[in-house]
Chain A
Amino acid sequence: MANTIHLKVATADRLLVDSEVSAVECPCTTGYIGVLPGHAPLVSTLGLGTLTYTPAGAGSQKNVTVTSGFIQVLDNSVRVLADSAEII
């Protein structure tokens, strides 16, 4: 089984992140959720907060601030549709 997740973070006017990661933590309206490889399919709404992900292989954690939006987890791919987002 694959041990990475494909993370895509997009806003209406650009694609911010499109890479293989090993873990994602993101701010849902119901609280932060962590996603690791093999996560069950999930759909939720995003709240205001910081999305953190760890790039696959070597690399330090990266942060992206997102406001409201959606997240879908399916087959080791995480799609984040943010109303606005900024890499910090």
Chain B
Amino acid sequence: MPSLINIRRRIRSVNNTQQITKAMKMVSAAKLHHARDRALASRPYAGMMTQVLSDLAAAAGGIEDPGDLPLLQVREEKRIQLIVVTSDRGLAGAFNANLLRASERFIEDHPKADIHVESIGRKARDYFARRSVPISGEHVGIIEKPRYEDAKAIAAKMIGLYSRQEIDAVYIIGNEFKSVMNSNLTIRRILPIALPEGGSQIDFIYEEPAGELLKALLPRYVEISIYRAMLESVSAEHAARMTAMDAATRNAGEMSERLTLHFHHARQSAITTELIEIVSGAAALS
């Protein structure tokens, strides 16, 4: 049986931990709010971009000659580039573990392909550095506050590799924010681009040939896809951390309660023992 001092020490330590987890939960809640704002702010652009692209694709009546537009060329997937979007920090429950497991599964599902990983976030880098998966690039420290320029740089790299035919497909895997309680794991192919459908068939006046327009639009579509994946991941990360820290705070509370009860029992029995000793000592004297 642990001594009273030991129990008291445990209680204090659990309470301290609880304070930390509580603070982390608050911080995550605030950060989640900001992350949601940013994700919402990028939505109009992404929506309009999809709209314009689908209209253009429909108006062009399907692109007959993708030779001119390398980003639409579908090739056999022999060399795949996988972009893994994780967080820089841990303590977010199963957030990163689930994602890394899913990317591992993705790699297993494509045994014939030569897969390279581009990691966004420290967790992905650390994970793949310990495995025999070739890493083509790593981006640490950009996921905390995703900037469009960062997404653009990654997109430029992918587009370059793809148009030089050094890779045959680019997939991005990341968490997508659904609600505070849950997020979805999504794997998307971003290259070659699958043109969004459902555009209205309208005779547009083109100031430039449609091919030229597409040539300029497609890279931006890749950029915004990566940017959105990053924003979604950040939201999901903070939501996951919030949930995890909430659970941790609750567990710490329960533990502290149990320990306090234990402490009282121990104290009471110590007093009782002492009393019996005194009483029996007095009885022996008389």
Which A residues touch B202, using CB under 8 A? 41, 74
- By the criterion CB–CB under 8 Å, are B48 and A8 in contact? yes
Number of B interface residues in the complex (CB < 8 A): 29
Number of A interface residues in the complex (CB < 8 A): 24
Cα distance A49–B56 when bound, in Å?
Answer: 24
- By the criterion CB–CB under 8 Å, are B208 and A29 in contact? yes
Cα distance A15–B200 when bound, in Å?
Answer: 24
25 A-B Cβ contacts within 8 A?
Answer: A8-B44, A8-B48, A13-B38, A18-B44, A30-B207, A33-B207, A40-B205, A41-B203, A42-B205, A42-B206, A42-B207, A43-B55, A43-B56, A43-B204, A43-B205, A43-B206, A43-B213, A44-B207, A45-B213, A45-B216, A70-B213, A72-B48, A72-B52, A74-B200, A74-B204
Does A5 belong to the interface (CB within 8 Å)? no
Q: Find the A residue at minimum CB distance from B46.
A: A12
Which A residues touch B41, using CB under 8 A? 13-15
Chain B, 198-223, CB within 8 A of any chain A CB: 200, 202-208, 210, 213, 216-217, 220, 223
Tally the A-B contacts, defined by beta carbons under 8 Å.
79
Does B224 belong to the interface (CB within 8 Å)? yes
Cα distance A15–B49 when bound, in Å?
Answer: 13
Interface residues in chain A, defined as those with a beta carbon under 8 Å from any beta carbon in chain B:
8, 10-15, 18, 28-30, 33, 40-45, 70, 72, 74, 79, 81, 83
- By the criterion CB–CB under 8 Å, are B217 and A70 in contact? yes
Which A residues touch B48, using CB under 8 A? 8, 10, 72, 79, 81
Q: Find the A residue at minimum CB distance from B48.
A: A79
Knowing A13-B42, A15-B41, A45-B213, say if A79 contacts B207 (CB, 8 Å): no
Which B residues touch A14, using CB under 8 A? 41-42
Q: Chain A's nearest CB lies how many Å from the CB of B203? A: 7
Identify the interface centre among A13, A40, A42, A74: most chain B CB within 10 Å of its CB.
A13
Cα distance A45–B51 when bound, in Å?
Answer: 15
Q: Chain B's nearest CB lies how many Å from the CB of A27? A: 12
How would residues 148 to 160 of chain B score, 1 for a CB under 8 Å from any chain A CB and 0 otherwise?
A: 1001000000000
Cα distance A40–B207 when bound, in Å?
Answer: 12
